[in-house]
Amino acid sequence: MASPFLSKTATNISFSSSLSNPLPWRFSHTSSASFPAKPRRRISIVQAKIREIFMPALSSTMTEGKIVSWVKSEGDVLSKGESVVVVESDKADMDVETFYDGILAAIVVGEGETAPVGAAIGLLADTEEEIAEAKAKAAKSGSSSPPPAAVAPSPPPPASNPAPAIAQPPPPAAAKAVPDGPRKIVATPYAKKLAKQHKVDIGSVVGTGPSGRITPADVESAAGITSTKKSVTVEPATPAAAAPKAATPAAAANLLPGSTIVPFTTMQAAVSKNMVESLSVPTFRVGYPVTTDALDSLYEKVKPKGVTMTAILAKAAAMALAQHPVVNATCKDGKSFTYNSNINIAVAVAINGGLITPVLQDADKLDLYLFSQKWKELVEKARSKQLQPHEYNSGTFTLSNLGMFGVDRFDAILPPGQGAIMAVGASKPTVIADADGFFSVKSKMLVNVTADHRIIYGADLAAFLQTFAKIVENPESLTL
């Protein structure tokens, strides 16, 4: 669980010390009865004032975060380890805890707003007397940034025969997914701790937090406990002069009637940044046809046990990478490259409003059934935005499978920091002629791999694809 970086912003440390003789072993020559002067005790006085709650870096690619919700309100008394705020990073929503006891004196960044990594999002006071000072500091920091200048939009030129504007229906609200199995339990760490302490079945608790998240108050209510946490009344901070609402850019004047500008979500902005960054890498693509009759037979046998085709393909890719480590290598600075010691397969998953790649770590060392179980758990966490950073940013090779949608072939864009990505199309019946001129029908799928040409060459990729094809066409080794 991520924690905020809290620092003492108004800490005064004063030292009072005096050394009459800095070297205690050096004696004075004026008197034989002299003794070395003893250094006086060093006295330090530390006065703790107001601590800032910083926007944490929840992943290596995160540059800013969005406040999903504040779990605590201004004036609440906090204990070390309690969840204070839920932050949306570029890939997941995560609870942020406090390192210290104190009072949440001021919320600097409100719900739905964003802040760069390292910026103060709240202020924590030690005592009630410091709350007013914290509120003043929050108001000052809010008014320090100048409001953006408003740009007056130019009205669109009148059309001689204006077409009637077609009202666009509002985007449909995301329907709540109905779970096929047991309900997914999402609770804050402190709520889980309380449930264990009071012997409350957390699965039976109804969460009142964001997206049904179970909060400590929900657990206390289920246990019949009246919360003893005291809350300090805090006067609302004097709001800074409201920045004038930024007008629509001049380019918006050329929009068609009824068009709507939709800003990127945090995840979409991260995907956009990564895709633009990938354009700086010289890549090439190689396609390879793979016969899948034996693979299809294996899938029919293991499907009742919860094994998916994506898991089988990822496992096959991991086994092939073990024999061709250069395809699992990465180049980040353009001057050297790294042979990764682990084979971590990232698999692209489409979720509401974006794309994420959960990572199956040490994929070559897991048996197929444990592999599939871990994959299922990762997908569930990805769709509930509960992935931890190491579960989505540690991939060394990526697999993207659109075969289940009937797509026969496509090219994938290489993710930054990886050497290759595999794009898998659908398996389809294909007429094949053998060496003797006899025709037969076999199922084939086309696999395309995009690779970083700085470290992987054509011969390397061809050899890797040949090994991958042999594993798929003789899949008995996948179940060992």
Give pLDDT tens digits for 428-470.
999 988 888 899 999 999 999 999 999 999 999 999 999 999 9
Is the CATH number 2.40.170.20 carried by domain 6-142?
no
> What is the average per-residue pLDDT within 3-26?
41
**Higher-confidence residue: 233 or 72?**
72
User: If pLDDT is split at 50, 70 and 90, which confidence band does 304 have?
Assistant: very high
Q: How far apart are CA 282 and CA 452, in angstroms?
A: 6
- Percent pLDDT > 70 in the chain is 72
Catalytic residue (one of 29, 198, 390, 453): 453
Residue-by-residue DSSP string for 6-72? EEESS-EEEEE---S-S-TTPPPSS-TT--PPPPPPPEEEEE--EEEEE----STT-SEEEEEEESS
320, two tokens: 């092939």
Please, which pLDDT band fits residue 235 given cuts at 50, 70 and 90?
low
DSSP state for residue 408 in the 8-state scheme: -
The rounded distance, in Å, linking the Cα atoms of 358 and 392 is 5
Say which CATH topology domain 268-479 has. Chloramphenicol Acetyltransferase (3.30.559)
How high is the pLDDT of residue 267? Answer: 77
334/249: higher pLDDT? 334
- Of the two residues 3 and 225, the one the predictor is more confident about is 225
Checking if the pLDDT of 167 tops 60, the result is no
Q: What pLDDT sits at residue 211?
A: 63
93-143 pLDDT, tens digit per residue, is: 777 877 778 888 788 888 888 888 888 888 888 777 777 777 777 777 665
> Quick check: 85 and 96 in contact, CB under 8 A?
yes
Threshold 0.85, pTM exceeds: no
pLDDT (0 to 100) of residue 144: 52
Alpha-carbon distance of 267 to 275, in angstroms, equals: 12
Q: What is the pLDDT of residue 59?
A: 67
* Residues forming CATH 2.40.50.100 domain(s) in the chain: 6-142
453 catalytic? Reply is: yes
Q: What is the mean pLDDT of residues 133-158?
A: 57
CA–CA dist 370, 307 (Å, integer):
9
Question: 83-88 and 64-70 as β-strands: parallel, antiparallel, unpaired?
Answer: antiparallel
Would the pLDDT of 196 be above 80? Answer: no
pLDDT tens sequence across 310-335 = 999 999 999 999 999 999 999 988 88
Give the confidence band of 30 by pLDDT, cuts at 50, 70, 90. very low
Residue 347: what pLDDT? 94
pLDDT tier for residue 241 given thresholds of 50, 70 and 90:
very low
Q: Output the average pLDDT for the chain.
A: 76
Read off the pLDDT of each residue in 417-427 and give the average, rounded to a whole number: 94
Q: Where in the chain is the domain with CATH 3.30.559.10?
A: 268-479
What distance in Å separates the CA atoms of residue 399 and residue 423, rounded to the nearest whole number? 6
**Residue 344 pLDDT more than 70?**
yes
Above pLDDT 90, what percent of the chain? 31
For residues 173 and 267, the model is more confident at 267
